[in-house]
């Protein structure tokens, strides 16, 4: 709930009861549908409450405005994406295996959450700070993983911040092309091709 | 001019005189400023003609609507970006050198054309077909370059379409982070880190 805390204007909007948490979750899921289908400018708070089956007054228990629910949604989707990938890779034997498993899981996640890209991408025009926070948070975790793997001797050492941005850009574009636009390769096939490039390198040896 | 031809509703809007070509160029440069600063929805045709110092009637000699000039602008920026990178890499001795020089040139280009990202990114909400065409055209060139380099034995063979999407995603994110958000590394430093990753690979060798 810490993400939602930060997104709320006042911390006392965080639900204290199980029922409140369920209502908040329903509102966020409805917001993902409403913003994903209609875009930020066409989306309406009444569209969100209608989809959620929640009274309009209840909406204002949790959010003060359309912008506030949008910001909370971007943070919630960002957290859910990172959690999904982290869960998928938690038993990976090493960093390169984790890259392959993580990219496969990410593309599969995108296929099941097709509204993800539209909402995150629109954030750069509606709430650029939340858009940047999304990628900076992703990169920070990635950078730490690369540094730890280099320290363990699993990968070559390098400049981890640009390496992390490079790897995340790669994943985002592969997710767009093979997750949303067309599904002509499976997530595992895409990850095999991309992680082979990243793990072994383009240079021909020997 | 072929891009502009396609963007126009009727081919006979393509200027036939040098003066007409200059007016069209001024309109596109003014459109880049207007859309880049104000975004698509706030931008106005009168804002474009005012910046260009061109009469409103002349605008309609070239474009029928705000959407039409926006579409022509995205295609024009896409073509200019590809031309800039192609020119930079034309004397590169091999594919890996071309990757490094091309990425350096791309990040430098982004720093000098800061409106590029906002306009291209907004295209996905305004004219998604032109947004997709932009990346598909980039990928198609990249894919051919990778295939030719593999055939010459300069790089290892692989699945060139996902490899091309991976490399372009990498470049786009590095351009965003180090071209627009912050300039704490030089374009060459960013390219060295990223192309080292791509050329040599992450895997540690004996």
pLDDT in tens, B118-129: 999 999 999 999
pLDDT of amino acid A187: 98
Q: How confident is the model at residue A12 (pLDDT cuts 50, 70, 90)?
A: low
A81-117 pLDDT, tens digit per residue, is: 999 999 999 999 999 999 999 999 999 999 999 999 9
Nearest to A166 among B153, B185, B194 (CB): B194
Domains delineated in chain A: 2-200 (1.10.357.10)
Exposure string of A76-85, with b = 16+ CB inside 10 Å and e = fewer, is bbbebbbebb
Residues from chain A contacting residue B197 (CB–CB below 8 Å): 158, 163, 166-167, 198, 201
Query: How far is the C-alpha of A201 from the C-alpha of A197, rounded, in Å?
Result: 5
Angle at B121 between CA A102 and CA B59, to 5 degrees: 165
Nearest to A169 among B122, B132, B169 (CB): B169
Q: How confident is the model at residue A206 (pLDDT cuts 50, 70, 90)?
A: low
Residues from chain A contacting residue B158 (CB–CB below 8 Å): 193, 196-197
The count of CB pairs under 8 A between chains A and B is: 148
Exposure string of A155-169, with b = 16+ CB inside 10 Å and e = fewer, is bbebbbbbbbbbbbb
**What's the token pair of residue B100?**
């490094």
Asked if A156 reaches chain B (Cβ–Cβ under 8 Å), the answer is yes
Residues from chain B contacting residue A202 (CB–CB below 8 Å): 95-96, 99, 155-156, 198-199
Q: Is the pLDDT of residue A34 over 80?
A: yes
Asked if A173 reaches chain B (Cβ–Cβ under 8 Å), the answer is yes
B58-114 pLDDT, tens digit per residue, is: 999 999 999 999 999 999 999 999 999 999 999 999 999 999 999 999 999 999 999
User: Residue B25: how many CB atoms within 10 A of its CB?
Assistant: 13
Nearest to A199 among B154, B172, B203 (CB): B203
- Which of residues 51 through 80 in chain B touch A, CB cutoff 8 A? none
Query: How far is the C-alpha of B70 from the C-alpha of B47, rounded, in Å?
Result: 13
Angle between helical axes of B128-151 and B115-126 (0-180°, round to 10): 120
Are B164 and A58 within 8 A, CB to CB?
no
Look at phi and psi of residue B73 and say left if phi exceeds 0, alpha if psi is from -120 to 50, else beta: alpha
Sign of CA dihedral A82, A84, A88, A90: positive
User: If you average pLDDT over every residue of chain B, what do you get?
Assistant: 93
- CB contact (8 A) between residue B122 and residue A122: no
Look at phi and psi of residue A204 and say left if phi exceeds 0, alpha if psi is from -120 to 50, else beta: beta
Burial of A48 (0-12, 13-18, 19+ CB in 10 A): buried
Nearest to B199 among A172, A173, A203 (CB): A203
A121-179 pLDDT, tens digit per residue, is: 999 999 999 999 999 999 999 999 999 999 999 999 999 999 999 999 999 999 999 99
Nearest to A174 among B95, B162, B193 (CB): B162
State the best of B115, B120, B177 to mutate against chain A, taking most chain A CBs within 10 Å.
Answer: B177
B137-169 pLDDT, tens digit per residue, is: 999 999 999 999 999 999 999 999 999 999 999
Are A171 and B169 within 8 A, CB to CB?
yes
Query: How far is the C-alpha of A185 from the C-alpha of B106, rounded, in Å?
Result: 29
Average pLDDT for residues A32-40, to the nearest whole number?
96
Closest-CA distance of chain B to residue A114, Å: 15
Kind and range of the H or E run holding A40: helix A18-42
Asked if B29 reaches chain A (Cβ–Cβ under 8 Å), the answer is no
- CB contact (8 A) between residue B166 and residue A194: yes
Residue in chain B nearest A159 by alpha carbon: B193
Sign of CA dihedral B195, B196, B197, B201: positive
Residue in chain A nearest B159 by alpha carbon: A193
Closest-CA distance of chain A to residue B53, Å: 28
User: Residue B55: how many CB atoms within 10 A of its CB?
Assistant: 11
ipTM of this complex prediction, to 2 decimal places: 0.92
Kind and range of the H or E run holding A194: helix A187-200
- Which of residues 75 through 94 in chain B touch A, CB cutoff 8 A? none
Q: What is the DSSP secondary structure assignment for residue A114, as one 8-state letter?
A: T
B9-40 pLDDT, tens digit per residue, is: 445 678 889 999 999 999 999 999 999 999 99
- CB contact (8 A) between residue B169 and residue A174: yes
């Amino acid at each position: 709930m810490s993400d939602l805390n930060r997104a709320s204007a006042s911390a006392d909007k965080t639900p204290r009861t199980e029922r409140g948490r369920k209502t908040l979750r329903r509102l966020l899921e409805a917001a993902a549908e409403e913003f994903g289908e209609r875009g930020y400018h066409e989306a309406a708070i009444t569209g969100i409450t209608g989809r959620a089956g929640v009274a309009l007054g209840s909406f204002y228990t949790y959010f003060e405005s359309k912008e506030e629910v949008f910001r909370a949604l971007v943070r919630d989707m960002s957290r859910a994406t990172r959690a999904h990938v982290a869960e998928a890779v938690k038993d990976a034997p090493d960093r390169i295996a984790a890259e392959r498993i993580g990219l496969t899981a990410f593309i599969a996640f995108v296929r099941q959450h097709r509204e993800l890209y539209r909402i995150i991408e629109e954030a750069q025009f509606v709430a650029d700070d939340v858009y940047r926070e999304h990628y900076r948070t992703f990169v920070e975790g990635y950078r730490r993983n690369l540094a730890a793997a280099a320290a363990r001797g699993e990968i070559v050492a390098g400049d981890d911040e640009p390496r992390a941005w490079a790897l995340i850009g790669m994943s985002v574009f592969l997710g767009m092309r093979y997750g949303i636009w067309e599904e002509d390769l499976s997530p595992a096939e895409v990850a095999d091709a991309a992680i082979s490039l990243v793990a072994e390198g383009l240079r021909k040896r020997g």
